[in-house]
Structure 1
Amino acid sequence: MGDLQIKKESKKYDAVIVGSGAGGGMAAYVLANAGLKVCLIEAGPDYDPAKHSSQFKNPWDSPRRGASTKFRPFGDFDGCYWGWEIDGEPYTMAPGSDKWDWWRARMIGGRTNHWGRISLRFGPKDFKRRSIDGLGDDWPIGYEDVKPYYDKIDRLLGVFGSNEGLENDPDGIFLPPPKPRLHELMIRKAATGIGVPVIPSRLSILTKQINKERGACVYCAQCGRSCKLAADFSSSSALVKPAVATGNVDVVTNAMAREVITDKEGKATGISFVNKTDMMEYQVNGRVVILAASACETARLLLNSKSQRHPNGLANESNVVGKYLHDSTGAALGGVLPQLFGRKRYNEDGVGGMHVYTPWWLDNKKLDFPRGYHIEYWGGMSQPAYGFGFGMEGLNGKYAVHGKTKEAGGYGASLKEDARFFYGAGVGMAGRGEAVPNINNYCEIDPSVVDKYGIPVLRFHTKHSDYEIKQAKHMKETFKEIMHNMGAIITWGGDDNEKNNYGLNNPGNIIHEAGTVRMGADRKTSALNKWSQAHDCKTLFCVDGSQFTSQADKNITWTILALSMRASEYIIDEMKKQNL
């Protein structure tokens, strides 16, 4: 597209940031509070949970009674706009590839408007896995480099938990954790009885108020809708909103980034984007460009940013952009607790997530897979919604309780009786594990497909390895043992076997993807240095999951936030020194 068709913004910013989720929101917050002028570009519309959240609505307030749509796959009241599929924005799979499930949020705050808010620090071993098991690569930084930033975000954003003194699951600066619910007490007793530890969860939800701008949790269990009180962490309410309040941030919404603009020397100088409202192309310039569009979207942007100085795509002299793509592994199992059939009904909503979890507890050197996993639990009672199921398939239509045999199913009065009888008896668990980054798992530009904005799309090449499949097998064996010790009846997930990889989720499906623009000490095998800065373009930074060398058995959001804060403070220092 020629210059005559591009509308160039005359104002020059200190930083242009693409993406307003955890990484982009944190960068905007830190830079704006330091007095820098920031342009924040977001592909979706404005979203302020205080105004737009569907919190406290009842199922009958939705024309679909809360059921899911393509626009909101987790239900009509979910906090996130779009997900697995977006109209007019396809992506493709290479022949022979496993299906990659790509979740994309389009809104201010991005995916942080819907996530489990599980906020775990990486441990010392997680940054040095190659030194331990010889697989993958070590990070160019260690826990000691990130710990000060974990401490800062704990204080800034809030996280509840308990000090456990675990070597590779570092304690944080915690708010009081909520008490376990009934099913969680039963899980803890059963799991610890077979040597599986169960400790209080670590979630970024305010069980106590930490500042006047954000309220404390009211235990409505609706964090997935994004909180009107800002009691849970969402970038939209906890970072973007206060950043804008400084007067130093201009937000451009509904702007689909096309490419990173570079000058004759190859330095990144701005972003070209398509305005979704008028479908015109615009350009905005800054001293530095910060990408935080998500691991895959950031890789796509860089690979589409070709120039004379960067013929292979920006930040890609090493040819690793798009490579080493990986997601958390996932496998789950569920059932019912007969001892809870017909249980007394009362409000046990709690926070919008688990009150307890299991950190990795075993030594992989004694197992047939190299990396660990943590266990997430659910169950009990919550406000019923459309599609509420009882998971009774495994009972073969008949069950016995307290010596009484009852037929399941029916309609009318019989169905209502079943609903009351089974309600609150469900229980389930899922593993979330570490995959070993692999250069053969990658995304690239599809040479023949573009989206509705004319931007070339991604094509995925992904496959599970034996490491992940064996890990999923171990998950299922552990879950069955816990369920058996609890006296539960497994109703789904128990029959998974080697034919379906033991129920292992599709790569991407857990929505923790990382890699693609990884950091490293060797510029021949990595795209970024230890400051999240491109080796071959010092004015370009990536502060989302793309920078991860490896992922650990933890959810990645808390580390994205810490690394983004670290990179942002580095940018400020380098600008003061006139190096940027």
Structure 2
Amino acid sequence: MQIKESSEIYDVIIVGSGAGGGMATKQLADAGLNVAVVEAGPFFDPADPKTMNQLKWNYESPRRGANTTRAFGEFDAAYGGWEIEGEPYTHEPGTEFHWFRSHMLGGRTNHWGRISLRFGPKDFKGKTRDGHGDDWPIGYEDVKPYYDKVDKLIGVFGTNEGLENDPDGFFLPPPKPRLHEIFYINGAKKAGIPTIPGRLSMLTKRINTERGVCFYCGQCSRSCSVYADFSSGSCLIFPAQKNGGRIKLYVNCVVREVTTNEEGKATGVSYISKDDRKEYKLRGKVVVLAASACSSARILLNSKSKQHPNGLGNSSDLVGKYLHDSTGASRAAFVPALMNRKVSYNEDGVGSNHVYSPWWGDNSKLDFPRGYHIEVGGGMKMPGYGFSFNPNEFNKFFGLKVGGYGDSLRDDVKKYYGSVLGVAGRGESIARKENYCEIDPTTVDQFGIPVLKFNYKWSDLELKQAKHMQDTFEEIFHNIGAEPLGDKPGKDRDYGLEAPGRIIHEVGTTRMGNDPKTSVTNKFNQLHDVDNVFIVDAGPFTSQADKNCTWTILALSWRASDYIIEQLKQQNI
């Protein structure tokens, strides 16, 4: 088959347009480099009214906004999901991993919760702390200048609290706690659990003329039509284009592999266009992979050549190894004191937590390492399909006759609207070599590209952490006089621990380290084996933390971009 090759040679080719790819696009284009961005999905701009994203009522859809068309609901700005027709993935028998992919300009940053937490000093030195996993080759002091820059460029609300492992930053004013969050604060305080204002990348104050300010519609999962929250397209790629950046977008283009020359250096990428199903090649001096931890690993493993028979950058045989996702467990409770609430005021707020609890535990007194934070949900959001509570739960556990039709249904909705409190733990798992993704030798996707096969199991340490979450949730519920909905999950249900991949925080497949034999990238996200290939998604994470990973992806991508600019100037790559 004849493959059409571009005549232009780009300074940098960036694969993926999410957090890492968007940041690299902005920094490299602003520096004057000629940049090609290759994205597997379509162009997306949340300000375009045709996207049917924000400020739409559920009744405006024949499906009432339900999740029959998209994983998180029809109105959610996520073009993809855990399962995509024609793009499968497989599993080693007896193992489980759910791989979420968002194929659209901006990637997952269009529909994430915008919880924007820095990793702390302890998070970079896990092995030193407790003997598990490995330390990063860098520390908080190396990343702090870039966290500061990200705060100022994108905007994040919160407060400086002086917590050692939850570092302070440059914060915009946070919104006030809502009523259900005040109940949570009181219950957590009685349990000795700290609660502080949330840290979310949503603008509560104007920082430039290109972006609007949050007006508390609470529909952030749809991506923001006034650019008040952080999405890669609206906050990084579009501004870089407006600033005169030389950026060429290749959308609906699925990268097959990184191409190399006789010396083993990268020469560009090969991709299949979804529009005509033909294969094309782009040429570039530097290739930056930002397709997501697993997708970038897949591209490297499929990039085999005489010089790289085991896959590009895989002389250590560690590409795809040490895959790990955040732990997650949740619980909901009915709060009788929140019944019969007045609904004559707007309590929507932002589309995520106004408050949260950072990790507070002393692991020397616990039976598991690391920790988790607690996120809080509830309030009087726009009622979803099912009215935000399950009548069967109320009927079963409280003997209440809830539901029906007509006036009785309307009365019950008003009575119980806003009376359910939800809590969710998000914690750190330990990176293990035996948790990995690899190429399935027998299966290809609809484009003829070999797919990934996953091998992943939680260990007893993650199960013990989930048990601690459930015990903590019950204590908080008791302290506020709430009645838990459903039975408390026990050991037979893995204490409610979500399956691997369901939290969508997967990291570690191209781990960072100083030794090429035990890592894939160096401390600047550069492949040990090929000096003109960089990984700027979460693949290089040596370990996860009890924090969401987006802010660290952004900071490390900016840091790697500065390094690329410096190395190009010195003609080292």
Query: How much has 1:53 moved relative to structure 2?
Result: 5.3
Contact 2:394 2:401 in 1 (8 A): no
Could you tell me how far apart the structure 2 residues matched to 1:59 and 1:372 are? Answer: 37
Could you tell me how far apart the structure 2 residues matched to 1:102 and 1:508 are? Answer: 6
SS of match in other structure, 1:302: helix
Could you tell me how far apart the structure 1 residues matched to 2:341 and 2:201 are? Answer: 31
Could you tell me how far apart the structure 2 residues matched to 1:500 and 1:444 are? Answer: 28
SS of match in other structure, 1:374: strand
Deviations 1:184-222 (A, max 9, x none): 011001101110111000000000010000011001001
Provide the residue aligned with 2:517 in structure 1: 524
Instruction: Look up the equivalent residue of 1:367 and give its one-letter code.
Output: L
Query: How much has 1:73 moved relative to structure 2?
Result: 1.1
Structure 1: unaligned runs, 5 residues or longer = 401-405
Provide the residue aligned with 2:60 in structure 1: 61
Provide the residue aligned with 1:322 in structure 2: 320
Query: How much has 1:235 moved relative to structure 2?
Result: 0.2
1:311 is aligned, of 309, 312, 322, to 309
Could you tell me how far apart the structure 2 residues matched to 1:515 and 1:69 are? Answer: 32
1:491 is aligned, of 485, 496, 501, to 485
Provide the residue aligned with 1:94 in structure 2: 92
Q: TM-score, normalised by structure 1?
A: 0.97
Could you tell me how far apart the structure 2 residues matched to 1:113 and 1:389 are? Answer: 23
The yes-or-no answer on 1:224 pairing with 2:218 is: no
2:535 is aligned, of 527, 530, 542, to 542
Provide the residue aligned with 1:403 in structure 2: none
SS of match in other structure, 2:511: coil
Query: How much has 1:69 moved relative to structure 2?
Result: 2.5
* Match runs of 1:26-37 below 5 Å: 26-37=23-34
Provide the residue aligned with 1:569 in structure 2: 562
Instruction: Look up the equivalent residue of 1:113 and give its one-letter code.
Output: N
Provide the residue aligned with 1:555 in structure 2: 548
Instruction: Look up the equivalent residue of 1:328 and give its one-letter code.
Output: S
SS of match in other structure, 1:324: coil
The yes-or-no answer on 1:386 pairing with 2:379 is: no
The yes-or-no answer on 1:416 pairing with 2:413 is: no
Provide the residue aligned with 1:466 in structure 2: 460
Deviations 1:111-130 (A, max 9, x none): 00000100000000100110
Could you tell me how far apart the structure 1 residues matched to 2:175 and 2:240 are? Answer: 30
Instruction: Look up the equivalent residue of 2:267 and give its one-letter code.
Output: T
* Match runs of 1:112-511 below 5 Å: 112-245=109-242, 246-345=244-343, 346-397=345-396, 399=398, 407-492=401-486, 494-511=487-504
Q: 1:530 to 1:415 in 2, by over 3 A?
A: same
Deviations 1:161-200 (A, max 9, x none): 0010000000110000000000001100110111011100
Deviations 1:357-376 (A, max 9, x none): 00000111110001100000
Instruction: Look up the equivalent residue of 2:230 and give its one-letter code.
Output: F
Could you tell me how far apart the structure 2 residues matched to 1:449 and 1:572 are? Answer: 39
Contact 2:395 2:401 in 1 (8 A): no
Instruction: Look up the equivalent residue of 2:317 and give its one-letter code.
Output: N
Deviations 1:546-577 (A, max 9, x none): 11000110000000000000000100000000
| Runs of 4+ deviating beyond 4 Å | 397-400
SS of match in other structure, 2:448: coil
Contact 2:32 2:245 in 1 (8 A): no
Instruction: Look up the equivalent residue of 2:526 and give its one-letter code.
Output: Q
Could you tell me how far apart the structure 2 residues matched to 1:278 and 1:399 are? Answer: 58
Could you tell me how far apart the structure 2 residues matched to 1:560 and 1:120 are? Answer: 11
Instruction: Look up the equivalent residue of 1:387 and give its one-letter code.
Output: G
Contact 1:306 1:312 in 2 (8 A): yes
Could you tell me how far apart the structure 2 residues matched to 1:399 and 1:103 are? Answer: 37
Query: How much has 1:419 moved relative to structure 2?
Result: 1.1
Could you tell me how far apart the structure 2 residues matched to 1:394 and 1:49 are? Answer: 36
The yes-or-no answer on 1:533 pairing with 2:532 is: no
SS of match in other structure, 2:102: coil
Contact 1:41 1:253 in 2 (8 A): yes
RMSD value, Cα: 1.1
Contact 1:53 1:79 in 2 (8 A): no
Q: TM-score, normalised by structure 2?
A: 0.98
Query: How much has 1:398 moved relative to structure 2?
Result: 7.6
Instruction: Look up the equivalent residue of 1:351 and give its one-letter code.
Output: V
Could you tell me how far apart the structure 2 residues matched to 1:94 and 1:398 are? Answer: 39
Could you tell me how far apart the structure 2 residues matched to 1:392 and 1:367 are? Answer: 38
Instruction: Look up the equivalent residue of 1:282 and give its one-letter code.
Output: Y
SS of match in other structure, 2:443: strand
SS of match in other structure, 2:476: helix
Instruction: Look up the equivalent residue of 2:351 and give its one-letter code.
Output: G
Moved more, 514-523 or 389-398: 389-398
Query: How much has 1:240 moved relative to structure 2?
Result: 1.2
Instruction: Look up the equivalent residue of 1:386 and give its one-letter code.
Output: Y
Deviations 1:34-81 (A, max 9, x none): 0000000000000011113511011111121111134x2111110111
Instruction: Look up the equivalent residue of 1:271 and give its one-letter code.
Output: V
Could you tell me how far apart the structure 1 residues matched to 2:172 and 2:318 are? Answer: 40
> Among the aligned pairs, what percent are the same residue?
61
Instruction: Look up the equivalent residue of 2:464 and give its one-letter code.
Output: K
Instruction: Look up the equivalent residue of 2:529 and give its one-letter code.
Output: D
Instruction: Look up the equivalent residue of 1:412 and give its one-letter code.
Output: G
Moved more, 32-41 or 342-351: 342-351
Query: How much has 1:412 moved relative to structure 2?
Result: 2.2
SS of match in other structure, 1:233: coil
Could you tell me how far apart the structure 1 residues matched to 2:408 and 2:52 are? Answer: 36
Could you tell me how far apart the structure 2 residues matched to 1:532 and 1:505 are? Answer: 30
Could you tell me how far apart the structure 2 residues matched to 1:478 and 1:391 are? Answer: 23
Moved more, 141-150 or 73-82: 73-82
